[in-house]
Amino acid sequence: MLWFNLATAVPVLLLTLAGFLGGIWAILAVIYLTVFVFTMDRLIKGAAARKNANGEFPVGVELSVFLGFSHIALMVVAVLALSGKTGLAVWERMACLILFGQYFGQVSNANAHELIHKGNRWLRRLGVAVYTTLMFGHHASAHVKVHHIFAASHRDPNSAYMGESVYHFWPRAWFGSFMKGLEAENKDRERASTPQPKWTHPYVTYLFGSTVTIIGAFLLAGFMGVASLLFVCLYATLQHLASDYIQHYGLRRRRLENGKFEHVGPKHSWNAPHTFSSAMMLNVPRHSDHHMNPRRNYTELRLDEEDVPMLPRSLPAMGIISLWPPLWRAIMDPLVMEATGQSKASLEAQALDHVKPS
């Protein structure tokens, strides 16, 4: 319980203080989300990182609910701080843009991801609310109804192929998941035994939630508030999509003789054993187990380093490396070939699948 509470709850306090007071609090928040997390990952390793989750992190829904409602409050703080309403200097506002964007992208998104997988509709609605405030509501549909079905294949917009840069992946994944999620929702509604009113369409909910968020930002700080909201949401979304880019990069499921893909397995996702950053992201880096058991609570996700592809650095660190495509490919392409047992030419040929109709 300590790691989850420390890793995810402490930034809520630091970001609130940074948004209203700036100065040393902004500096401390930067240190926490960078140097401190990196240091803790280095210190807490070995047996603690490899343990299965039975009793390792005995917290769950309560923390997710706390983080969900805290996110809404932090969105208000972010808009006020970035728009200048709290009296911060320019450098403090720039620091807050990075801080809030990083937290929303790595923690709020990870928590919303956990919530939309819950069977309880109120928890799922809280997850949807978090996504819609980030202008990313369609992910609640696309992640469950597209990504979990077609992950590590050309039919999933959020699975990167080997050789693709994160800059190419960002727009392809955002627009692709928007359209694929809409298509999946429309098909589900067409198959429904009872016609459903148009206003109940999930995409109407996403649009309505995002519109309310924009109006709220305008009421808080005018057009500067809206601009601040959109900038921090863009930053957070790029952070989130960078995680998607990393977690399936170059990995592909075989197509079977019946035309379907093999079941998703441990070899189809990249994982990271770094305990503290994993706790901060609610165990998202234990990605293989999540795909094989999507209803399993984040506190119970397991990690067997011998059976799954492992990233050489923590997920946040790999996100930074991905911004330099030549360095990224120099590190990751050999690992992809090792993990898949395929040649570079064979893997790059698979990239052609992405230009075929799906």
Name the residue ranges covered by the structural domains of the chain: 2-355
In tens, the pLDDT along 275-309 reads: 888 878 888 999 999 999 988 888 788 887 778 99
DSSP state of 308: S
Q: Is the pLDDT reported for residue 130 higher than 80?
A: yes
In this predicted structure, the answer to whether residue 8 has a pLDDT above a threshold of 60 is yes
Average pLDDT, the chain: 88
Residue with the two structure tokens 């898949």: 340
How confident is residue 46, by pLDDT bands cut at 50, 70 and 90?
Answer: very low
Average pLDDT over residues 227-236: 97
Average pLDDT over every residue of 36-54: 56
Assess contact for 354 and 158: CB atoms under 8 A. Answer: no
| pTM of the model as a whole | 0.89
**What confidence tens digit (pLDDT) does each residue in 323-336 have?**
999 999 999 999 99
The whole-number pLDDT of residue 344 equals 67
Stronger pLDDT, 153 or 53, i.e. the higher one: 153
- 138/85 Cα distance (integer angstroms): 31
Q: What length is written for the chain? A: 358
Residue 48's pLDDT band, with cuts at 50, 70 and 90, is very low
The pLDDT value recorded for residue 17 is: 95
The model's confidence at residue 348, banded by pLDDT at 50, 70 and 90, is low
pLDDT value of residue 33: 79
Distances (CA, A) of 73 to 12, 70, 78, 214, 343: 9, 5, 9, 15, 49
